[in-house]
Amino acid sequence: MDILKNNEKLLRLRRNLYGARIVILGFAREGQDTFRFLRRLFPKKTIGIADRLEITSLPPNVQKLLSHVFHDREKCVIGHFGKDYLKAIKDYDVIIKSPGISLKTIKPFIKKEQKITSQTEIFFENCPGKIIGITGTKGKSTTASLIYEVLKEGGLKAHLVGNIGKPVLLNSFWAKPDDIFVYELSSHQLMSLDKSPQIAVFLNIYPEHLDYYKNFREYLRAKQNICRFQGKTDFFLYNPQNKYVRATVSITRAQKIALDPRKVLFFLKNCGRSDLPQFGVRLLGDFNLLNMAAALEVGRIFHIHDKKIFQTIKNFKPLSHRLEFIGEFRGIKFYNDSLATIPEATIAALQALGSRVETIFLGGFDRGLDFKVLAKAVLESDLKNIIFFPTTGVRIWREIGKLNRKNRFFKVIFTGKMKQGVVFAFKYTSPGKICLLSCASPSFGVFKDYRDRGEQFKKYVYEGGKNKF
């Protein structure tokens, strides 16, 4: 039985791609999902796979998948792996690019007649259900997860996809008109889109990923694709406090809904008990009120009862590496905010936790961000101890020094080892106070990624809490 028998959109896609030579560029989670999608669409078609890593450097499960397909002649796969992987893409008509590979990287290797597309673009074109897209420099994952939980609580057929959820393309085979896909969208995924989701949420935008884009303007333009192609029956939920997001309102035809944290406070007070801290909500910080506002407005668009929305928000736990409370050890409270990769996120974390923060981890990969405002926030805080990671740790410390007119004293350590930093934190943080990992910089260089940084932090905190060092 043909799985596409009643799916006109996918039948049209199969016809359009039938004679095309296709290569999947990048073979991480999205690339693997795209491969499985294409294999179901074209059981016998020869498909190219290209990745900058050698096969032996890929994760074991990916190596196993590739070993299987390369040893089965019927799978019809051609592999291009290693440092010269981009040279092969000239031989293909259609390039399905993973979001982490920038257009400027592949530009020298492509020809004018080639079509460059992405998993996100293919899904948007072929999804019969509704898509709720969430973007922003910070807060995407929490907001997407909150919206997903609100919709589930309301009894709707919701699916969490994108960066925070599962890769999305295989869903095209079974999706129905009543399915709702809550899609966390990065600027990389949005960059090439010419179709916007029916409900778009734009939380904020700050300078980041400027090594990927030509400039901030190009980064902003990519983000704005979330609403650029919306129609009059669509909805655009936006943060009016961010000037760039506020300016985006003019480019969309959708119905506009401004996200208002004050509205959330009023909502929580009326639905809950005002004698509970933050009305019993586990998400800390004013910045999370914006995330809650998005979930509230989406819930109301779908006519979900306020009590169900409230219960979902109240019971929602912070996601890993996002102002995550690890626990109290030797009287010290530890928070993991490893996803704070820009100064604004770290400042928000300091504001959320307040004067109890005595020790902080700062620094990481250098993307050329400005740390003046962060240095000012450090000097205005009650911090006493700072652990600096390379390479931006040195830059942040210099900015603090320039503004430190009162010659305020800090205990500091410069290290490339998480364990050494945690030992320092246990030694100098007072009982009853907070130690915060919120580095205001990406993790690359010292750590694999923000998850590795956060997991190492938790590992050594647990060890230190048990007096193992």
Q: What is the CATH number of the domain that holds 101?
A: 3.40.50.720
Cα gap 273→98, rounded to integer Å: 46
d(CA 130, CA 197): 8
Do strands 94-97 and 115-117 pair parallel, antiparallel, or not at all (unpaired)? parallel
Tokens of 296: 């509230």
End-to-end Cα separation, the chain, in angstroms: 62
Query: Splitting the chain (469 residues) into consecutive groups of 10 residues, what average pLDDT does each group show?
Result: 69 90 93 92 91 90 81 75 93 93 89 92 94 95 96 97 84 92 94 94 84 84 96 97 96 97 85 54 83 96 95 89 94 96 94 95 94 97 97 97 94 97 97 98 93 97 86
Same domain, 264 and 397: no
Half-sphere exposure (Cβ direction) of 90: Cα atoms closer than 13 Å: 7
370 DSSP assignment: -
Structure tokens at 74: 């019927």
Which among 325, 273, 321, 333 is positioned nearest to 438, based on CA atoms? 321
User: Residue 235's domain is classified under what CATH number?
Assistant: 3.40.1190.10
Whether residue 150 sits in one domain with residue 95: no
What single letter denotes the amino acid at residue 433? K
Q: Within this chain, do residues 286 and 172 fall inside the same structural domain, yes or no? A: yes
The answer to whether residues 189 and 72 belong to one domain is no
Distance, CA of 189 to CA of 449 (rounded, Å)? 19
- Would you say residue 42 lies in a domain? yes
Same-domain pairing of 339 and 450? yes
In this prediction, residue 357 carries a pLDDT of 97
Tell me, what DSSP letter sits at residue 359? Answer: E
The residues near 124 (Cβ < 8 Å, ≥ 6 apart) are 131, 193, 195, 197
Helices (runs of H) and strands (runs of E) counted in the chain: 17, 17
Q: For residues 200 and 218, is the Cβ–Cβ distance under 8 A?
A: no
List CB contacts of 147: < 8 A, sequence separation 6 or more. 132, 134, 182, 201, 294, 295, 298, 299
Same domain, 160 and 296: yes
Same domain, 133 and 113: no
Task: Find out whether 458 and 466 touch, Cβ atoms under 8 Å.
Answer: no
Residues 296-341: tens digit of each pLDDT: 999 999 999 999 999 999 889 888 999 999 999 999 999 999 999 9
Residues 236 and 261 reside in one and the same domain: yes
| SS3 (DSSP) at 469 | coil
Of the residues 271, 292, 315, the one at which a domain ends = 315
3-state DSSP assignment of residue 180: strand
Number of domains in the chain: 3
In a domain, 455, yes or no: yes
| DSSP letter (8 states) at residue 432 | T
Looking at the structure, tell me whether residues 17 and 70 fall in a common domain. yes
Residues 226 and 175 in one domain: yes
Q: Tell me the three state secondary structure of residue 18.
A: coil
151 with 242: CB under 8 angstroms? no
Which residue, of 69, 99, 117, is where some domain finishes?
117
**Helix %, strand %, coil % for the chain, to 5?**
45, 20, 35
CATH code for the domain of 346: 3.90.190.20
**Domain end call among 315, 346, 379:** 315
| Residue 17 domain flag | yes
> pLDDT value at position 265?
85
What local confidence, expressed as pLDDT, does residue 275 receive?
44
- Interior angle at CA 194, CA 189 and CA 197, nearest 5: 70
Complete edge-to-edge strand list for the sheet that includes strand 332-336: 324-329, 332-336, 434-437, 357-362, 385-388, 411-414
Give residue-wise pLDDT tens across range 389-431: 999 999 999 999 999 999 999 999 999 999 999 999 999 999 9
* CA 335 – CA 357 distance, rounded (Å): 10
User: Looking at the structure, do residues 272 and 146 belong to the same domain, yes or no?
Assistant: yes
Please report whether residue 2 resides in a domain: no
Going by the DSSP 8-state scheme, the letter that residue 232 receives in this structure is T
pLDDT of 3: 61
Q: Which two tokens stand for residue 384?
A: 């006493």
Q: Are strands 332-336 and 235-238 parallel, antiparallel or unpaired?
A: unpaired
For the stretch 267-294, what's the b/e string if a residue is b when 16 or more beta carbons lie within 10 angstroms of its beta carbon?
A: bbeeebeeeeeebebebbbebbbbbbbb
Domain that holds residue 348: 324-465
Residue 376 inside a domain? The answer is yes
19: number of Cβ within 10 Å:
8
Does 3 reside within a domain?
Answer: no
Establish if 1 belongs to a structural domain: no
Task: Say whether both 273 and 137 belong to one domain.
Answer: yes
